[in-house]
Amino acid sequence: MADRVLRGLIVDWGGVLTSGLDDAMLAWCEADAIDYRTFRAVMRSWLGAEAVENPIHALERGEMEVPHFEERLAEQLVTVDGQPVSSEGLLARMFAGFAHAPDMHDVVRSARAAGIKTGLLSNSWGNDYPREEWDALFDAVVISGEVGMRKPDREIFELAATRLGLEPAECVMVDDLAPNVRGAAAAGMVGVLHVHVNQTREELETLFDRPL
């Protein structure tokens, strides 16, 4: 690390520049009266090591259309009183609970103002992003479904660095999911696990040796 010069800051979207994923999913289940334990069980089965297929990964790589994924997920869910769940607009409702995290936006904005190249790297579930401020925040944007790759695959981290005009070793990746942080580190980046904005800011200030 002593000889490493860091020039780029890459951040995740959901859970870093927004409120946390778990809170958003719980709010969605409560709003739609969906049995939360069933939802968590479905996610574990789809993401588990023994899963025969993984609809989530296919969705994130853009290999599965949103309506198809919504139908697959809705088939597995029930409401708290045992009723079927409507698939129409399921993902829009699911992500409606994400709230803007202004303090983390300020960290990215401060980094860019300080001459650090900034990028967004997000695994998309086919959801719409509020892109209005992105030109002012990011020098490069990589959305998984638009490039046919997903975190934590090495190639998508390398692509994000390339779009910033940097080597992976010159970049810091901030993500709220530990597998993605490990994936970034395996690609040569410095990985930072985001838990709280104050902790993340302090770690980034140490890494870049400047106030943010």
pLDDT tens column, 90-133: 999 998 888 899 999 999 999 999 999 999 999 999 878 888 88
DSSP SS3 for 11:
strand
pLDDT at 35: 94
Lowest mean pLDDT among 47-56, 164-173, 174-183: 47-56
- How far is 160 from 168, CA to CA, in rounded Å? 8
- How far is 183 from 200, CA to CA, in rounded Å? 18
pLDDT at 52: 55
Q: What is the pTM of this model?
A: 0.92
pLDDT at 160: 98
Q: Which two structure tokens, joined as six digits, stand for 203? A: 């770690």
Whether a cis peptide bond, with omega within 30° of 0, leads into 179 is no
**48 pLDDT more than 90:** no
CB environment 65-84: b (16+ within 10 A), e (fewer) = ebeebbebbbeebeeeeeee
Write down how long the chain is. Answer: 212
Q: Going from the N-terminus, what domains does the chain have, and what CATH number goes with each?
A: 8-20+98-208 (3.40.50.1000), 21-97 (1.10.150)
Q: What is the pLDDT of residues 57-82, one digit of tens each?
A: 999 999 999 999 999 999 999 999 99
**45 pLDDT more than 90:** no
Phi, psi for residue 34 in degrees, rounded to 5: -90, 140
Lowest mean pLDDT among 6-20, 41-55, 66-80: 41-55
- How far is 176 from 194, CA to CA, in rounded Å? 5
Q: State whether the Cα torsion 173-175-178-179 is positive or negative.
A: negative
- How far is 61 from 151, CA to CA, in rounded Å? 9
**49 pLDDT more than 60:** no
- How far is 167 from 102, CA to CA, in rounded Å? 29
**1 pLDDT more than 80:** no
pLDDT at 128: 82
Contact indicator for 24, 66 with CB cutoff of 8 Å: no
What mean pLDDT, rounded, does the chain reach?
93
| CA-wise closest residue to 176 among 70, 93, 69, 101 | 101
pLDDT at 97: 81
pLDDT at 21: 87
Amino acid at 44: R
Q: State whether the Cα torsion 203-204-205-206 is positive or negative.
A: positive
Residues pairing with 88 in the sheet: none
DSSP SS3 for 65:
coil
| CA-wise closest residue to 24 among 113, 105, 127 | 127
